[in-house]
Amino acid sequence: MLRERIRASNYSFLDKLRSIDYLLILLIIAIGSISVFAIYSTEGGKFSFYTKNHIIRLSIFFNLFLVLSFVRVSTWYKNAYLFYVVGLVLLITVLFFGISASGATRWINLYFLNLQPSELMKIAVIVCFARYYHRIQNSDIQSYKFLIQPIILLIIPCYLVIQQPDLGTSILIAGSGITIIWLAGLNIKYFVYSGLLLLVSLPFVISVLKPYQKSRILTFFNPDRDPLGAGYQIIQSKIAIGSGGFFGKGYLKGTQSYLEFLPEKHTDFIFTLFSEEFGFLGSIILLFLYILLIYRIINVGLVSRSFFAKLYCFGFATAIFLYVFVNIAMVLGMLPIVGAPLPIMSYGGSSLLSIMLGLSIVMSCKIYNQEQISAY
């Protein structure tokens, strides 16, 4: 009966409440709370600007997440391209009217928030690609005709974001798009070939990078090349994490951060601070929370009927994984410093907004998991 009713899209509110993934909500609350404590610590244990702002944003966006969770998944499907186009328009707006900070033009001033459209684009690409591949037949996927469109759709935002310049976000956008193409079932050989092509063209790519990006990559391979300049962040981050030991230095006792050796500790290096204060144990627990979050998102995909929902959830889960992995690997000195926030933990409105938005679509997939989307 229920199944019938759901198919007929006659969900009662109670049914919807029943379908909510409460563990997912719990995980969001848990990571959110940890982030509040971590940001409180970055301010040396004072309740001031960053902590206040973070709490406000977190509560607003969490509520937004709850509300948007009840938007039908078919609505997302219908407006997927629109979402992408809006993202693109905003990116172009940045090009002309963006505001700059430390040499990069990434933001649009919305008065209550400096919006970073590239963050929204991360989600928009997933939604857009999920829709695109939702209706393509298995047999058509391998054809160039259907391959060329997503590639163009991907290159445009990536190019715009690189121009800001923001290599990190651009790579993450590309990563999310390629993930969906992979999930949709494009032949493995394409990935192998393009991987090889990338390797071969790497020297050329590096040569067109901005000097600071080049130096970051060179520094990644040898942080001692310039210990007070480009290598400083990574050296200090490793010192902070390493000195944390198993149990950490204790909450609000991370000397590396409160004595200001750590740069950008409330954004990209929030994990470093957390790891210094809570040690290996805390870091593994936080990592576990993220794995759980990714697992829950994948789970939603598994129980969803529509390809759109599946592609979206698997894609978004991989995207979250990529954000977490790139950020942590970066602060651990395993990847070059590219500027990628840690989802939910890092201070920053746009990143938080896009993650919450993305999660709300996941939740909507969960609530309406039996909804079939006709390929119109």
Among 65, 76, 307, 323, binds other proteins (CB under 8 A): 307
Instruction: Report, in Å, the least distance between residue 121 CB and other proteins.
Output: 21
Q: Considering the complex, what minimum distance in angstroms separates the CB of residue 62 from other proteins?
A: 25
Nearer to other proteins, 173 or 353 (CB): 173
Q: Which of 255, 289, 292, 303 binds other proteins (CB under 8 A)?
A: 255
Where does this chain touch other proteins (CB under 8 A) — which range of 51-59, 76-84, 252-260, 363-371? 252-260
> 234-257 burial, b if ≥16 CB within 10 A, otherwise e?
bbbbebbbeebeeebbeeeebebb
Segment 271 to 300, residues that bind other proteins, using CB under 8 A: 275, 279-280, 283-284, 287, 291, 294, 298
- CB atoms < 10 A from the CB of 93, how many? 13
Candidate segments 33-41, 61-69, 164-172, 324-332, binder of other proteins by CB under 8 A: 324-332
Residue of 47, 144, 135, 59 whose CA lies nearest to 349: 59
In single-letter form, the type of residue at position 73 comes to V
DSSP tag of 111:
S
User: Which one of 154-162, 170-178, 258-266, 358-366 is the stretch in contact with other proteins (CB under 8 A)?
Assistant: 258-266
Shortest distance, CB of residue 255 to other proteins, whole angstroms?
5
> 213 or 306: whose CB is closer to other proteins?
306
Q: Which stretch binds other proteins (CB under 8 A): 50-58, 150-158, 311-319, 337-345?
A: 311-319
251 near other proteins, rule: CB under 8 A = no
Q: Identify the residue among 1, 10, 111, 139 touching other proteins (CB under 8 A).
A: 139
Q: What are phi and psi of 99, to 5 degrees?
A: -105, 150
Q: Per CB under 8 A, which of residues 176..235 are in contact with other proteins?
A: 179, 182-185
Helical residues (DSSP H) of the chain, grouped into ranges: 2-7, 13-19, 22-42, 49-68, 73-78, 80-97, 117-134, 144-162, 167-184, 188-208, 211-221, 232-244, 255-258, 270-303, 307-331, 349-367
Residues 27-66 within binding reach of other proteins (CB under 8 A): none
Among 314, 323, 347, 368, binds other proteins (CB under 8 A): 314
Q: How far apart are the first and last CA of the chain?
A: 27
Task: Please identify which residue in 1, 10, 96, 137 interacts with other proteins, judged by CB under 8 A.
Answer: 137
Q: Tell me whether residue 282 or residue 349 sits nearer to other proteins (CB atom).
A: 282
CB of 55 to other proteins, least distance (A): 27
What phi and psi, each to the nearest 5 degrees, are found at residue 118?
Answer: -60, -30
Sheet containing 104-109, strands listed edge to edge, beginning at the edge strand earlier in sequence: 99-101, 104-109, 114-115
DSSP lists the bridge partners of residue 115 as 108
- x/- track of binding to other proteins for residues 70-99 (CB under 8 A): ------------------------------
Side chain identity, residue 87:
G
Question: Rounded to 10 degrees, what is the CA torsion of 262, 268, 273, 274?
Answer: -170
- Under rule CB under 8 A, how many of the chain's residues touch other proteins? 45
What span, in angstroms and rounded, lies between the C-alpha atoms of 45 and 333?
27
Q: Give the integer Cα–Cα distance in Å for 57 and 114.
A: 12
In the bound state with other proteins, the residue whose beta carbon lies nearer, of 256 and 354, is 256
Binding piece for other proteins, criterion CB under 8 A, among 60-68, 155-163, 329-337, 359-367: 329-337
Alpha carbon distance 25, 359 (integer Å)? 9
DSSP class per residue in 12-44: -HHHHHHHS-HHHHHHHHHHHHHHHHHHHHHTT
- Tokens in use for 196? 């090889």
Among 36, 151, 243, 252, binds other proteins (CB under 8 A): 243
Q: Which is nearer to other proteins, 56 or 375 (CB)?
A: 375
Q: Give contact residues for other proteins (rule: CB under 8 A).
A: 137-139, 179, 182-185, 236, 238-246, 255-256, 259-261, 275, 279-280, 283-284, 287, 291, 294, 298, 301-302, 307, 310-311, 314, 318, 321, 325, 328-329, 332, 334
